[in-house]
Amino acid sequence: MDIKNVFSVDTVNMKKLFADEREKCFYIPAYQRPYSWKKNDINRMWEDIVYGLEQLGSSEDYITFLGSVITMHDTKHQSIAPIVRGETPTKVMVIIDGQQRLTTMLLLVISLDNAIRKKLTKDNEIALSRVLDTLTFVSDMYKSPKGYGLNKSTDYPKIIRAYDDQWSTDDQGQYSSPIARLLKEYIDFVADDKNKKKAFVYSANNADKDIESHKGIKLNLDVFKKSITSFLKDKSDIHKIMIDNSVLLDVDESIFEGTNDNIGIRDKIDNNPDVKKIFVLLLVFRFVLQRVFVADIVAKKEEYAFEMFDSLNTTGDPLTAFETFKPKVVEYVGLEGYFDSKSKKYMEQIEDYLKLDPTRRDTSTNQLITTFSLSENGRALSKKLREQRIYLRMNIKTNTKEDFVKNLAIVSKFYNIWNLSNKDQDKIIISELKNDKVALTCLQFLAKKHTISIALLSRFYSKSLLEDSNAIEFRGAIKAVAAFFVLWRSARTGTAGIDNCYRKLMSQGVKTLELEVLTVLNRSKLVYHLSVDKKMQIILI
């Protein structure tokens, strides 16, 4: 197998990542968590860049490395929703890992760009004309041109998010996520000549939704602005290093002293503070474009991308199988119909359970999915994220989709009952067990000693939700499983082989499993190890 058919890896600078392919854009899929970097993260990125600028004085090949970015080239635009066919960017890269870095880099780019544009006058533009081409590359970092019609074009935000945003050349364009809305507003701001020499201000107050996320991105933008102001005011020693070594950033030395045809800018830099500040910021931009690198990993398939992410990820939290499953549910239901669907209600029930203890989110998700697979078709899943992701995605294709999601929600609800049973005789448990103290005691016993039974009991719990009469079977199943577990342990020195008993039961399917089947199959397993008299048979039943 040729590894190039799986993924490609290249070390690229920001110019190549963002600007060299003008119609290349990035797409944040629905399963990605919201942008969450805080002030400390912003300061760390800025400090890394400033440190790199300072090192130019002693190391002419110094670069700043920001880590890795993992994407998938969506050639058929299958990941994009909503979508206006024919109006998507030429090249769309789905972000698997690196959303925080990419978003933050564009916040820095906008902050630097606006800091320069505020100070530009006609005289300054003339003086710095030979280096202002940098701004052309900069604009290609945050916007992407889209041609349509005869001699018509519009500029798209470089990054948008699933469900919240939609690329389009007309009034179908929609940019509601924090990053897409910010980029679109800045694109429009720069395009308006009335805004020359004005400061760009992003307001979160009139955002359509998720005000806090918009406020967060505004705060980070403000952190960069303050850092740039402080850098221009207090770092004259670094400014000198940058100017003296500007040739390392591909600045022609002749611009300082001039030639027969061009006037040099040395005097302007020495005597005009604004010209010097603009020149310094242009050098910062050149450093970012040329000397700030990431490992650009492009996977051919989404699953390959996740596998790569799980292997490389050492500091962040990997996306759970449930988080990557959600957009598939939306896809199958349809975006327009999803928000009023039963599937959405079931997905919210699952999310509510997983939110109960945020510190155990990964563990709770892992347990839920492995239990569900055992309950649904008797399959024992490992704890590997890849296996769990594939299981959910493949099985929703082959099952009645709404029932599949519903059954997963029921298991999550039963887990809530199971977890509470060990801590408190909560009214929820009492209600579910119809004040059956024996069943409650058995459940508390099983919760401490026999978690393998969750999958089986969740099936009976599922039946109890369909018909009130089946609550009797649910309570009976709890007692039967507790009795079976005690008798099995009495007949053996351990629990070896008991898992297979449960898998055989559950392989029959949700609808066929009844209490009578449970007791008969369990008795057949025990008879080889224990002489069962009439009293014990009664206990089993």
Report pLDDT digits (tens) over 436-477.
Answer: 888 888 888 888 878 888 888 888 888 777 665 557 778 888
If one counts every other C-beta atom within 10 angstroms of the C-beta of residue 227, the result is 19
Residue 259, pLDDT above cutoff 50: yes
Residue 247, pLDDT above cutoff 60: yes
**Using 50, 70 and 90 to split pLDDT, how confident is the model at 518?**
low
Threshold 0.85, pTM exceeds: no
> What's residue 320's pLDDT?
84
Question: Is 498 within 8 Å of 374 (Cβ atoms)?
Answer: no
- Per residue in 193-217, pLDDT tens? 899 889 999 988 777 777 888 999 9
More confident residue, 277 or 208: 277
Question: Is 34 within 8 Å of 55 (Cβ atoms)?
Answer: no
CA proximity to 92, closest of 156, 5, 187, 2: 156
Residue 418, pLDDT above cutoff 70: yes
Token pair listed for 345: 């209600």
Nearest-10 crossing angle of helices 99-119, 39-55: 70
More confident residue, 235 or 251: 235
> What's residue 25's pLDDT?
96
CA proximity to 411, closest of 474, 469, 456, 472: 456
> What's residue 261's pLDDT?
57
Question: Is 62 within 8 Å of 248 (Cβ atoms)?
Answer: no
- How far apart (Å, rounded) are the C-alpha atoms in residues 408 and 74? 29
Residue 523 contacts by C-beta under 8 Å, 6 or more apart in sequence? 532, 537, 540
> What's residue 149's pLDDT?
54
Q: Work out whether strand 7-13 and strand 64-73 pair parallel, antiparallel, or are unpaired.
A: unpaired
More confident residue, 8 or 43: 43
- How far apart (Å, rounded) are the C-alpha atoms in residues 292 and 63? 6
Residue 314, pLDDT above cutoff 50: no
> What's residue 8's pLDDT?
84
Distances (CA, A) of 260 to 133, 256, 507: 21, 13, 87
> What's residue 203's pLDDT?
87
- How far apart (Å, rounded) are the C-alpha atoms in residues 250 and 230? 26
**Using 50, 70 and 90 to split pLDDT, how confident is the model at 496?**
low
Question: Is 241 within 8 Å of 54 (Cβ atoms)?
Answer: yes
Report, as an integer, the average pLDDT of 125-148.
Answer: 84
- How far apart (Å, rounded) are the C-alpha atoms in residues 379 and 503? 7
Average pLDDT value over all residues in the chain: 82
Residue ranges per structural domain of the chain: 3-299, 315-540
- How far apart (Å, rounded) are the C-alpha atoms in residues 329 and 453? 28
- How far apart (Å, rounded) are the C-alpha atoms in residues 414 and 496? 26
> What's residue 260's pLDDT?
57
Residue 366 contacts by C-beta under 8 Å, 6 or more apart in sequence? 320, 383, 388
- Per residue in 69-78, pLDDT tens? 989 898 888 8
> What's residue 245's pLDDT?
94
Residue 4, pLDDT above cutoff 70: no
> What's residue 204's pLDDT?
83
Report, as an integer, the average pLDDT of 56-79.
Answer: 91
- How far apart (Å, rounded) are the C-alpha atoms in residues 131 and 125? 9
Rounded percentage of the chain residues whose pLDDT exceeds 70: 82
> What's residue 167's pLDDT?
95
- How far apart (Å, rounded) are the C-alpha atoms in residues 55 and 104? 23
Between vectors from CA 270 to CA 269 and to CA 271, what angle results, nearest 5°? 95
Distance of CA 153 to the CA centre of its chain: 31
Residue 158, pLDDT above cutoff 50: yes
**Using 50, 70 and 90 to split pLDDT, how confident is the model at 284?**
very high
> What's residue 86's pLDDT?
87
Ordered DSSP codes for 230-269 = HHHHH-HHHHHHHHHTGGGGT--THHHHB-SSSB-SHHHH
Computed from CA positions of residues 234, 238, 243, 249, in that sequence, does the dihedral angle turn out positive or negative? negative
Report, as an integer, the average pLDDT of 39-52.
Answer: 96
Q: Where do the H-state alpha helices sit in 292-341? A: 302-312, 321-333, 335-338
Report, as an integer, the average pLDDT of 321-350.
Answer: 84
> What's residue 380's pLDDT?
82
272: helix, coil or strand? coil
Token pair listed for 278: 């603009």
> What's residue 515's pLDDT?
53
More confident residue, 400 or 148: 400
- How far apart (Å, rounded) are the C-alpha atoms in residues 429 and 355? 20
